[in-house]
Structure 1
Amino acid sequence: MMSISLFSQAQNLKKVRPEDVFKLGTFSQETISGINWMKDGQFYSSQILRNGAPAVVKINLETGQEAGVLLDGRTLGVDFSSYSFNAEESKALIASDVESIYRRSSKGVFYVVDLASGRKQQLMNGEKISYATLSPDNDKVAFVQNNNLYLVELASGKQTQITSDGEWNKVINGSADWVYEEEFAMAQAFQWSPDAKKIAFIRFDESQVPEFNMQLWGSLYPKDYKFKYPKAGQKNSIASIHVYDLASGKTQQMDAGTETDIYLPRIYWTKDANTLAFIRLNRLQNQLDLLHADASTGASKLILTETSQTYVDLNYNDDLQYLSDGKTFIRTSEQDGFKHIYHHNLDGSLIRQITSGNWEVTAMVGLDEKAKKLYYISTEASPLERNFYVINLNGKGKKVLTPAKGTHTINMSSDRKFYIDYHSTADVPLKVTLNEASGKELKVLEDNQALKDKLTGYALAKKEFFTFPTVDGTLLNAYLIKPADFDPSKKYPVLMYVYGGPGSQNVLNAWGSLRDFWHQQLAAEGFIVACVDNRGTGARGRDFKHSTYANLGKLEVIDQIEGAKHFAEMPFVDPSRIGIWGWSYGGYMSSLSLMIGNDVFKTAIAVAPVTTWRYYDTIYTERYLQTPQLNATGYDDNSPIMHVNKLKGNFLLIHGTGDDNVHFQNSVDLVNALINADKQFDSFYYPNKAHSISGGNATWHIYTQMTNFLKEKL
């Protein structure tokens, strides 16, 4: 049910203004961040701002009250932005002056702080380094600088350069290349062994990967920025896995087979300090192998293999955990059609499938080995919900710990006795609670009451969730946002919001982001905002997600067109004023929908769109389309560039020239094709802006521009 205190159709309430959304932060919710659970199970630590300086405080779990200051940036003289403790909580690693590189990578100035004495030790003489990581014995720190892996002994300050062949745009040691970082969600690519005697790392030889060039504007002569970016069908880095032995100073390569046109996206130490596990994926990503290697000799053996007629999604097989018994491991897989948890012997043989059903495990949260209980989040209640469950390792005794509807994100203590629940719905902002593992709520840490009170003064509309059938009878999830003063006797324009990419989800019972409140602003301007999760999106099983395989854009666009037709039949919708907008994959979808669905859509906005999958990266694109050499029609049949002659409506194309992800080249080629087809359209570029088009005044500017375009054209 709608929360009347937050969402009201009453008159004389304030309308949502652009300033509220983008400048004043009126609808920004508070949260509890920077939490680290402490070893004694009675406290957790949290990073806060105190007197204008960062600090890390200890919080008593029983009372919820502050029990001491662990790190004080003012005392240390360091304006740190992140911290981590060693297992014994005797040392802390803090980072300052952190500089973002790409989506997940960064570098900064690191310090090791002795918590007892407060003494700090600066690493690498204050030069910027990446991924500084304390050894398990707390005596050493490993890190990456300039594509090489280093080691420093804290007591003596002795520094060892483990690799020396690292070079920009040629060889990377210990950190991911661009495409691994973006598509395999990794940046750091090294790990300490459990006994602190070895370091395993991935080496990327990207010397044969084609180079992409972006011009950076702002000086008398624009600068070139060149980096390695493997577009679909082109050469990837040659990845290899190595183990450095601290005692001997020697490095041993692990045997990953003779084929080098593969992916090696994960390394894990087992409970045996001399056995390294790693994942191997073939180029088409339809075979995933788990191997165990002898860290001393490099000899490896195949533990298990999973194959598919489409693809094996690493994101759905990325919860590998070795149990302390040294004999078994658990993992996730969608091999039965839905992502579930499996328990295996160390040799790969299956003990049992722990969870099952026509729903997905979205995250493995924790394992209590002593009690033999496993904690996870799933979609069992609904694809629109995320709830927290516990189940015995034998697959019995399943219990829901967070029965409240909505979306629950969980941070569980390392001893599995407590968890913090971040819970919201589409109607109610974030509530953060501290709970016992049994599900009993101990304390509300943040309830966003100030935001709730503020919201009662605004005319906000709720999201109305529903389903409708697409062309083959498949039910699609969708929502509508009507104006708060909705009058069913009037005719309204509809703006559809789309992302639509494989495994994604926009229709979810969770509190909205900045983009959702822009939609509230548009509703206040008299628009109905709608969203449809087409075939290929996530949370509904492998078959639904994989239905778009080898033909991206085809079924997704059919479903968006069917959604528009469904809305057009509603008595309060003006069928001549239906528009669609999206960003990234959503920009690809909005472009294609306007062109192919030119009799349904009047207007579209595409921000940073892919316009031909030939221009996007190998890992993402080939996972869903194979290579261009194997599936040329899959790349070309649904490229917006190939459909420009069908454009009839109003089209606004926006891109950042500094987009390292979906290159500005995509929009340049689409513009050229539109010109050659003699089509009029609007376009705008943001100099030097990356894929998010943020920073400075960019966010305010782009949403103001899109608002004005929609008011004029729709």
Structure 2
Amino acid sequence: MKMAAAKGMVLPFLLLIAVGTHAQKQNFTFEQIFRNSETNAVQPLPSIKGWTDDTHYVLIRKEPSGRVATYLVDVKTGKSVPHPDGGLMTPPEVSIAGSVNTTYSPDRKWAAYTKKDNNLYIRNIATGNETALTSDGSATVLNGYASWVYYEEILGRASRYKAFWWSDDSKRLCFMRFDESQVPVFPIYVADGQHGYLENTRYPKAGDKNPEVKIGIAAVDGGNVVWADFNEKDDQYFGTPAWSPDGQLWVQWMNRKQNNLKVYSIDLANGSKKEMYNEKQDTWIDLDDTERITFLSSGKGCIIKSDRDGWDNLYYYDNNGQLKNAITTGNFWGTGIAKIDEKAGVVYFRARKENSTRFDLYKASLNGKGVTRLSFGDFSHDFFSVSPNGNYFITIYSNLNTPPAMAVVDAKGKIVREVANMKGSSFSDYNLPKTEIVRVPSADGVFELPVSITYPINFDPNKKYPVLISIYGGPNAGTVYDRWKPTVSPVQWFAQEGMIQVAFDNRSSGHFGKKGLNYIFRQLGKHEIEDYMTCGRWLKKQPWVDSNKLCITGGSFGGYMTCMALTYGADVFPYGIANSSVTDWKFYDTHYTERFMNTPQDNPDGYKITSVMTYAEKYKGLLRIVHGTSDDNVHMQNSLVFIDKLEDLKKHFEFMAYPGERHSIMGLKGVHNRYEAYKFYYQYLLEKPMPAVFWAPEAQKGF
């Protein structure tokens, strides 16, 4: 799909001719969209388990009977037979009372876990014998269980607080030990029971003391823990450790300013360290990249991903940390290795390059030659599975107006066979909104900002429509992609109701690599909101937009952007709903905030110019502020301080608190939150009553 130019844009011809065809089709019903009634418009795709050899892959699909079945499929003919072991055989897991994050060794002979006493344990699966590897765990000393800021910002939520890692030979465990005793406590009041209670979290806000961290190595056959040669008193961070195939332990270290990354090899016997990699940048380096280091087989070195040249490129290093050569150069972003064929000396990787809104599969030689795009067409290829010898790959691909399909493709990029398509038997019976991506020049003329627009059903370019803008806006967290969106969703409902729905991405979204991201250094939020204002002004100039009915909404960083839009950008955005919002970066955690802003002590002016409170006097529209009272990520303190400021300025706003809810408002409270947001859209954008079907008690259960 071609992208229309923003200046002098003519509405795509396909939208104009589509108006006459919609009348022959039907809209989705309330029950289908909000209560999951059957539509047969789409069907699930099967999943790929892997390959048994270069001409057979393992496919898992749901049968009409509802049974999940596993098949071995011939790549050329498509003929399938039931997989002999179901493709899912794994040894049974043992139940260990009181264990947290139970993780089996690669040879399945051991289980490692933590307990509530914050010590790390292993169990011999054959004998059932348990051994405590640490004994000093306490309320503030955590062995193998992550401190909050490491869980949220470095190890990631998928870790579920696990901070220990098995070696490939199953003989050792690397783990992190956290001392939180000097980390400030943030109290959260919980209104349960007659008197309520306080939930205290060790949460370091920008400029605060971080937990002290040690890297330990424990052997399963006993002996004392070996501590890596780092001074835990230093102001520093550690990334996820990595075990090499030849048994080396590589540890990522970073300074507090997060602009110097070092990787050390740790001597397993005495903990001494050897520097293997050293990278410095003028702004920051991301430590939470779990795909930074990819080892080749024993003795053949590794591939390190870095954005040091402004883009996500791959570099080949030997076992001693010496650079052999760059594997890729150019504007690759979101790069991730899919497979390494060491025999052929080829790396297969996924990245965005040809078009910043789409992913493709590429291959390159380890020596940096022969970079080739393997995927095809104007699609985003969002899943890959490469055969053992690289003669075939399976991809799932789509774009905004083409539902996902799964295909087998040969090494030259030619489709061998379509495996499955998400189109259901009734796909063509329904009205579907048209969506396109346009590029809007930034105010300084440096960037072409991507904007996705979903038009109403039966769109008439001579009418004026209200606009709902959904945003996030955080660093390297874009939302505008040329990929299929769910068919049956509230987006479909509001397209049927006559609303234009839009998403913006700013210069720091990843579409423009690290070069675009670097603009926000020490002023997180300023360029982003100015880019959004530019996109908002462009929208208001379109003849089919009601310029008085723009509503912007988002959560977390998107909530921050929404608050900034209604204050800093008050002349552009009249309505907004801000969920779980940061309102001043001094209230957020050290690692995330200081990565972009440095500390409040070092950058007071930056914190001032990016605070929502600085621009509260400009507020003049209508903002709804939404927050869960037990949000332990973005504390409700953010919203309360903003509310306090608005009240003192005699400003009118709305506030919705959700007792006991965390950063994501879930369950019945989540239903209520969505219900109230829809009511807001009907009242201020569509200017008509919310349909009675929403009010039916049984209807509220489904959406």
Q: TM-score range by the shorter chain?
A: 0.7 to 0.9
**Residue 180, structure 1, aligned to residue 194, structure 2:** no
Looking at structure 2, the residues matched to 151 and 442 of structure 1 have their Cα atoms a distance apart, in angstroms, of: 48
Deviation at 1:375, TM superposition (A): 0.7
Q: 1:370 is paired with a residue of what secondary structure?
A: coil
**Residue 263, structure 1, aligned to residue 275, structure 2:** no
**Residue 425, structure 1, aligned to residue 399, structure 2:** yes
**Residue 252, structure 1, aligned to residue 226, structure 2:** yes
CA contact (8 A) 1:30 1:446 kept: no
Looking at structure 2, the residues matched to 411 and 162 of structure 1 have their Cα atoms a distance apart, in angstroms, of: 40
Q: Provide structure 1 residue ranges, at least 5 long, that are not aligned to the other structure.
A: 72-82, 86-90, 93-110, 113-121
Aligned to 1:67: 83
Amino acid in structure 2 at the alignment position of 1:512 = K
In the TM superposition, what are the counterparts of 1:532-543 in structure 2 within 5 Å? 532-543=504-515
**Residue 35, structure 1, aligned to residue 9, structure 2:** no
Looking at structure 2, the residues matched to 159 and 261 of structure 1 have their Cα atoms a distance apart, in angstroms, of: 35
Instruction: Give the alignment partner of residue 225 of structure 1, picking from 190, 196, 199.
Output: 199
Instruction: Give the alignment partner of residue 211 of structure 1, picking from 185, 206, 211.
Output: 185
Let me know the Cα RMSD of the aligned residues: 2.9
In the TM superposition, what are the counterparts of 1:562-573 in structure 2 within 5 Å? 562-573=534-545
Looking at structure 2, the residues matched to 645 and 687 of structure 1 have their Cα atoms a distance apart, in angstroms, of: 29
**Residue 313, structure 1, aligned to residue 289, structure 2:** no
Matched residue count:
660
Deviation at 1:192, TM superposition (A): 1.9
Q: 1:226 is paired with a residue of what secondary structure?
A: strand
CA contact (8 A) 1:401 1:438 kept: yes
Instruction: Give the alignment partner of residue 148 of structure 1, picking from 89, 95, 119.
Output: 119
Residues 60, 21 of structure 1: CA spacing in aligned structure 2 closer, same or farther, 3 A cutoff? same
Looking at structure 2, the residues matched to 3 and 577 of structure 1 have their Cα atoms a distance apart, in angstroms, of: 26
Deviation at 1:707, TM superposition (A): 1.8
Q: Which moved more, 1:370-379 or 1:318-327?
A: 318-327
Amino acid in structure 2 at the alignment position of 1:634 = G
Aligned to 2:8: none
Aligned to 2:428: 456
Once the two structures are superposed, residues 181-218 of structure 1 have per-residue CA deviations (whole angstroms, 9 ceiling, x without a partner) of 22124323222223222111111112221222323445
CA contact (8 A) 1:16 1:460 kept: no
Deviation at 1:490, TM superposition (A): 1.5
Aligned to 1:488: 461
Amino acid in structure 1 at the alignment position of 2:136 = D
In the TM superposition, what are the counterparts of 1:161-176 in structure 2 within 5 Å? 161-168=132-139, 170-176=140-146
CA contact (8 A) 2:58 2:73 kept: yes
Looking at structure 1, the residues matched to 582 and 498 of structure 2 have their Cα atoms a distance apart, in angstroms, of: 30
**Residue 651, structure 1, aligned to residue 623, structure 2:** yes
Looking at structure 2, the residues matched to 439 and 130 of structure 1 have their Cα atoms a distance apart, in angstroms, of: 45
Looking at structure 1, the residues matched to 123 and 500 of structure 2 have their Cα atoms a distance apart, in angstroms, of: 59
**If the length of structure 1 is used for normalisation, what is the TM-score?**
0.86
**Residue 512, structure 1, aligned to residue 485, structure 2:** yes
CA contact (8 A) 2:46 2:61 kept: no
Deviation at 1:518, TM superposition (A): 2.6
Looking at structure 2, the residues matched to 654 and 22 of structure 1 have their Cα atoms a distance apart, in angstroms, of: 22
In the TM superposition, what are the counterparts of 1:303-702 in structure 2 within 5 Å? 303-315=276-288, 318-412=291-385, 415=388, 417=390, 419-435=393-409, 439=413, 444-450=418-424, 453-474=425-446, 475-513=448-486, 517-695=489-667, 697-702=668-673
**Residue 133, structure 1, aligned to residue 103, structure 2:** yes
Q: Which moved more, 1:453-462 or 1:336-345?
A: 453-462
Amino acid in structure 2 at the alignment position of 1:251 = V
CA contact (8 A) 2:335 2:351 kept: yes
Residues 258, 205 of structure 1: CA spacing in aligned structure 2 closer, same or farther, 3 A cutoff? closer
Amino acid in structure 2 at the alignment position of 1:131 = N
Q: 1:234 is paired with a residue of what secondary structure?
A: coil
Q: 2:83 is paired with a residue of what secondary structure?
A: strand
Residues 56, 620 of structure 1: CA spacing in aligned structure 2 closer, same or farther, 3 A cutoff? farther
Deviation at 1:265, TM superposition (A): 1.5
Q: 2:103 is paired with a residue of what secondary structure?
A: strand
Once the two structures are superposed, residues 591-639 of structure 1 have per-residue CA deviations (whole angstroms, 9 ceiling, x without a partner) of 1111122222211111111111111111111101011111122122221
Amino acid in structure 2 at the alignment position of 1:627 = T
Looking at structure 2, the residues matched to 50 and 174 of structure 1 have their Cα atoms a distance apart, in angstroms, of: 44
Aligned to 2:681: 710
Once the two structures are superposed, residues 467-487 of structure 1 have per-residue CA deviations (whole angstroms, 9 ceiling, x without a partner) of 121211022111222212111
Looking at structure 2, the residues matched to 18 and 283 of structure 1 have their Cα atoms a distance apart, in angstroms, of: 52
Deviation at 1:28, TM superposition (A): 7.5
Deviation at 1:139, TM superposition (A): 2.0
CA contact (8 A) 1:376 1:390 kept: yes
Q: 1:429 is paired with a residue of what secondary structure?
A: strand
Residues 260, 414 of structure 1: CA spacing in aligned structure 2 closer, same or farther, 3 A cutoff? farther
CA contact (8 A) 1:199 1:244 kept: yes
Deviation at 1:361, TM superposition (A): 4.8
CA contact (8 A) 2:71 2:80 kept: no
CA contact (8 A) 1:384 1:508 kept: yes
**Residue 282, structure 1, aligned to residue 296, structure 2:** no
Residues 618, 18 of structure 1: CA spacing in aligned structure 2 closer, same or farther, 3 A cutoff? farther
Looking at structure 2, the residues matched to 425 and 585 of structure 1 have their Cα atoms a distance apart, in angstroms, of: 26
Residues 165, 444 of structure 1: CA spacing in aligned structure 2 closer, same or farther, 3 A cutoff? farther
Q: Which moved more, 1:307-316 or 1:584-593?
A: 307-316
Residues 288, 583 of structure 1: CA spacing in aligned structure 2 closer, same or farther, 3 A cutoff? same
Deviation at 1:338, TM superposition (A): 0.6
Deviation at 1:156, TM superposition (A): 1.3
**If the length of structure 2 is used for normalisation, what is the TM-score?**
0.87
Identity across matched positions, percent:
32
Amino acid in structure 2 at the alignment position of 1:180 = Y
CA contact (8 A) 1:37 1:44 kept: yes
Q: Which moved more, 1:307-316 or 1:437-446?
A: 437-446
CA contact (8 A) 2:312 2:513 kept: yes
Deviation at 1:384, TM superposition (A): 0.9
Q: 2:437 is paired with a residue of what secondary structure?
A: strand
Looking at structure 2, the residues matched to 505 and 369 of structure 1 have their Cα atoms a distance apart, in angstroms, of: 33
Residues 368, 246 of structure 1: CA spacing in aligned structure 2 closer, same or farther, 3 A cutoff? same
Aligned to 2:700: none
Deviation at 1:11, TM superposition (A): 2.2
Once the two structures are superposed, residues 58-99 of structure 1 have per-residue CA deviations (whole angstroms, 9 ceiling, x without a partner) of 64455344324549xxxxxxxxxxx8x7xxxxx43xxxxxxx
Aligned to 1:199: 173
Deviation at 1:307, TM superposition (A): 0.7
Amino acid in structure 2 at the alignment position of 1:130 = V
Looking at structure 1, the residues matched to 510 and 213 of structure 2 have their Cα atoms a distance apart, in angstroms, of: 30
Deviation at 1:13, TM superposition (A): 3.7
Looking at structure 2, the residues matched to 530 and 145 of structure 1 have their Cα atoms a distance apart, in angstroms, of: 47
Deviation at 1:256, TM superposition (A): 2.7
Aligned to 1:123: 95
Aligned to 1:23: 35
Looking at structure 2, the residues matched to 163 and 575 of structure 1 have their Cα atoms a distance apart, in angstroms, of: 63
Looking at structure 2, the residues matched to 69 and 136 of structure 1 have their Cα atoms a distance apart, in angstroms, of: 20
Deviation at 1:503, TM superposition (A): 0.7
Residues 220, 33 of structure 1: CA spacing in aligned structure 2 closer, same or farther, 3 A cutoff? farther
Deviation at 1:47, TM superposition (A): 8.9
Aligned to 2:688: none
Looking at structure 1, the residues matched to 170 and 127 of structure 2 have their Cα atoms a distance apart, in angstroms, of: 17
Q: Which moved more, 1:361-370 or 1:29-38?
A: 29-38
Looking at structure 2, the residues matched to 458 and 392 of structure 1 have their Cα atoms a distance apart, in angstroms, of: 47
Aligned to 2:6: none
Q: 2:382 is paired with a residue of what secondary structure?
A: strand
